[in-house]
Chains A and B, each alone.
Chain A
Amino acid sequence: MIKKIALVMALIFICFNNLVLAEKTSSISGSISEKQVKDLKTKIATKVAELTKKESKVVAGFLDKKDGNTYIIKNIDDDKDYKIEVDKELTSFKKVSGTKIIEIKEDDIKSGDYLIVDGVNLGSEINANNIYLDTHYSVMSGSIVGVDISNKQLEIETSDKEKIKVDVSSSTKSYILDIDTLDEKRTSLSKVKAGDLINFVYETSLTNKNKDNIYLYRYLVIPQEFFEK
C-alpha cells in the first residue's frame, strides 16, 4: 500500500516537474521567438530604408492621364511616359508657390499640369511619396534674325537651326550684356537688332511644346559688337 502511494506520489511529482519544465521552456522559447521577430522587423525596416534610398527617383512631366490611383506623366524633353502609382494614405500633394511649398489636395491636380514626382522606382513604375505641382520652363539660345517692335516680336534662329517667333510682353525680363563690364543691364526691344545673340527662357506647356505661341519670360542679348572688339 505504502509502495503504491509512494509510486503515485512519485508519478505526480514527476508530472508536476515536467509541467513546470515545459512551461519554462515554452516561455524561454517564446521570448527567444519574440526577440528574433523584433530583430527581424528591425532588419526589414532598415533594409527597406536602404532600398528606398537607393531606388528613390525624381521624375517630372505633364500630367497626361489620371486613372484612379495611376497617373501617366509625359516628359517632353526626352519624350518618355512615366507611370506613377499614388497611395491615398501615403502620397503627399504639394504645390510650389514662390518661395514656399504648400499642401494641396489631389483634386487640385488637373490634366496638363506639370508635376515633379519624388518616389520609389520599381522598374516600370514609380510609387509616389510626394507630388509637387510646378511650372516648366525651357531655356534656349540662338541668334536674332528679325525684330518687330510694333508687334513686340523677335524672330530667332535657335542653336538647333530652327526659326521661331517669340512674343515679348511688358512682364518679360529683358537684359543686354554690357560688353565692357560683362554686367547685364535692362533693355528694350528697340535696342535689340538682327545679328545679336540671345539666351532666353519661356514657360512651356503642352500647348506650346512645338515652340509656337511662346511668350518670353526672360532674355539676355549679347550684342554682336562683343565679338568685334
Chain B
Amino acid sequence: MIKEKIIAIILGVVFGITTAVFIVSFSNKREIDKRTNNSVLNKAKVVDKVKNSKTSSPGYLEITSPHDNFVTKSDNIEIKGKAPKNSLIIIQSPIKDLIFKNNQEEKFSKNFPLALGENVISIVIYNKDIQTSSLERDIKIYYLKDND
C-alpha cells in the first residue's frame, strides 16, 4: 500500500513537471516569435536619416563606405553602397553633382571628388515607380592635408 502511494506521488510529480515545462517552452516560443516580428518591422523602418515624402519607401539605401566623419588626405573618395536596381541615384556636394542609375545590380561604387576641408555629401535615390518617394543619406568627409 505504501509502495503504491509512493509510486503514485512520484508519477504525479513527474507528470506535473512535464506539463509545466511544456507550457513554459510554448509561451517562450510565442514571445520569441512576437519579438522577431517586431524587429523585422523595425528594420523595415527608416534608418540613418532616411527621409520619406508622400508615399511608401522605394526600398533601401545603404552606404557601405566611407563611414560618416571619415578623414582623408586624398582629393577623391570611393562611395560604395546598395540600392534597389534601376534607381536614379544622385550624389551631391557643394562642388559636384553625380547622377547615374544602377541598372545592372543593386551595388554601386563611384569615385567622387572632394574639396579641401569639410565635404557634406548627400546620396539620394529615386524610384521611378513611386514618383515623389526618395531615400537620402548624408555623410561628412574631411579632406585635410598640409600644403607641400
Contact = CB atoms under 8 A, between A and B. Distances in A.
Contact of B128 (A99, A141, A217, A226): A226
B87 interface: no
Interface stretch (A23-31, A105-113, A175-183): A175-183
Interface in B56-101: 69, 71, 88, 90, 92-94, 97, 99-101
B12 interface: no
A199 interface: yes
Interface stretch (B2-10, B22-30, B31-39, B119-127): B119-127
A139 to B, nearest CB: 4
Contacts of B134: 141, 159, 197
A141 B147 CA distance: 34
B94 to A, nearest CB: 5
A189 interface: no
B47 interface: no
Contact of B52 (A60, A100, A159): A159
Contacts of A160: 51
Interface residues of A, number: 43
Contact of A116 (B118, B138, B145): B118
Nearest to B123: A139
Contacts, number: 103
Nearest to A140: B122
Nearest to A183: B99
A184 B138 CA distance: 21
B97 A139 contact: no
Contacts of A163: none
Contacts of B136: 141, 159
Contact of B69 (A58, A135, A199, A220): A58
B77 to A, nearest CB: 15
B131 interface: yes
